[in-house]
Amino acid sequence: MIELLDVKKRLGDRQILDGLTVEVQKGLNYVLMGPSGTGKSVTLKHVIGILRPDSGTVRVDGKDVPSMNQDELMALRKRMGYLFQNGALINWLSVFDNVALPLREHSRVKKSELDDRVHEVLALVGMDHAADQFPPSISGGMKLRAGLARALVTRPEYVLYDEPNAGLDPIISQQIHELIAEVRDTLHVTGLVVTHSRACATQCGDRIGVIKGGRIVVEGTVDEMIHSDHELAKAFLGEGSD
């Protein structure tokens, strides 16, 4: 379980998080929505220990993230995958080598096992046919699929998704949403998803929280949020909001 309790974080002269409380239950996808600049991506960085809160608590499975030393943080990050916006692939590496990168950098697996695991996750996201291609020659949707494969190749317990459908057309976006839900259901991976998209939130989320002023102002199940009378819930999840 991921827990952020009364987290506050100031960056420069801006108070980004101001009492943020979020609880992500094991086996579910929690979706974090909100206007730009309200701290959604900053929240993800707290979970993996890139940022430390000025005050408050950040825990993963009961362990305090800010108090971890470098070795403990590395061990935590091995249990987490991170899907960056637009996939964030390295242009001079093939799709295969992009996906293999976390295994080569952070684990000691035999080449045969590495090959098997890379092809396994590429097949899961429908990209095994493109293993030898390079990022400049593939579409945005394919890059995101490859990025998801890279996030999954270490067999993480958690995946953090940062705007997983940014810049994609509705058809490709729906395919990505279905993949995120499939990852939850078949691999039993817990997800924390940052998005502006109603379709993303409702198609792959289990619980949704809307952040404003550095804290959650309304949250609930997908059904509760769709039918909520709260102004921001209506803005992000009402009909015609996507």
Q: Please state the domain extents for the chain.
A: 2-79+156-237, 91-155
Quick one: pLDDT at residue 241?
Answer: 56
Q: How far apart, in whole angstroms, are the C-alpha atoms of residue 30 and residue 43?
A: 12
The third-level CATH classification (topology) of the domain covering 2-79+156-237 is: Rossmann fold (3.40.50)
The pTM assigned to this predicted structure is: 0.89
| Residues in the chain where the model's pLDDT stays below 50 | none
pLDDT in tens, 125-150: 888 899 999 999 998 888 888 988 99
Pairing outcome for strands 29-33 and 207-212? parallel
- The Cβ of residue 206 has, within 10 Å, a number of other Cβ atoms equal to 18
Hey, which residues does 159 pair with through a beta bridge? 81, 191
C-alpha 28: how far from chain center: 12
Quick one: pLDDT at residue 37?
Answer: 75
Quick one: pLDDT at residue 114?
Answer: 87
Q: What is the DSSP letter of 61?
A: T
Quick one: pLDDT at residue 239?
Answer: 64
Reduced to 3 states (helix: H, G, I; strand: E, B; else coil), residue 56 is: strand
Contacts 24+ apart (CB under 8 A), 233-241: 236/33, 236/34, 236/196, 236/198, 236/201, 236/210, 237/33, 237/198, 237/201, 237/202, 237/208, 241/198
Evaluate whether 55 touches 89 at the Cβ level (below 8 Å).
no
Quick one: pLDDT at residue 112?
Answer: 83
pLDDT in tens, 151-194: 888 889 999 998 887 777 788 888 888 889 988 998 899 999 99
